[in-house]
């Protein structure tokens, strides 16, 4: 992970409020947001997997209108209705429209739409 952090400004790393791995993931994603939210998240997840094989990477990013999420060696479920999309690591009820996303999937959703893209092999 140190190799990935080398590309970030040292001041940003030294002044982060958290010392957990998610803080580094957040810094890497923010640094790439000009690529667009989905590509920023997907590229970081792929590079973290390359640097730290076997990582479990459920990442969720939202701006209040759009949600981007990944499932990478961990579960991710989605439930879509006519006017909402709900995403969770596990369904909190049974038999009411939840579907499990395949491993290594990128989810992009708004209030009215939901699409998935396989992440493996995507560059």
Domain spans of the chain, in order of start = 2-118
| pLDDT of 15 higher than 80 | no
Contact 114, 98 (CB under 8 A): no
Stated pTM of the model: 0.80
Q: Reduced to 3 DSSP states, what percent helix, strand and coil does the chain have, rounded to the nearest 5?
A: 30, 25, 45
The CATH topology of domain 2-118 is 3.60.20
> What's the confidence (pLDDT) of residue 121?
60
pLDDT at 123: 44
Query: Which pLDDT tens digit goes with each residue over 70-102?
Result: 999 999 999 998 888 999 999 988 778 899 999
20-68: pLDDT as tens digits: 678 889 989 999 999 999 999 999 999 999 988 988 899 999 999 999 9
């Amino acid at each position: 992970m140190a190799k990935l952090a080398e590309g970030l400004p040292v001041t940003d790393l030294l002044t982060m409020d958290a010392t957990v791995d998610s803080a580094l993931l957040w810094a890497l994603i923010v640094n790439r947001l000009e690529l667009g939210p989905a590509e920023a998240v997907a590229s970081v997840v792929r590079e973290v997997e390359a640097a730290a094989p076997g990582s479990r990477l459920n990442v969720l990013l939202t701006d209040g209108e759009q949600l981007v999420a990944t499932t990478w060696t961990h579960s991710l479920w989605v439930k879509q209705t006519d006017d909402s999309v709900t995403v969770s690591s596990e369904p909190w009820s049974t038999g009411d429209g939840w579907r499990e996303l395949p491993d290594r999937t990128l989810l992009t959703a708004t209030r009215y739409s939901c699409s998935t893209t396989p992440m493996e092999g995507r560059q």
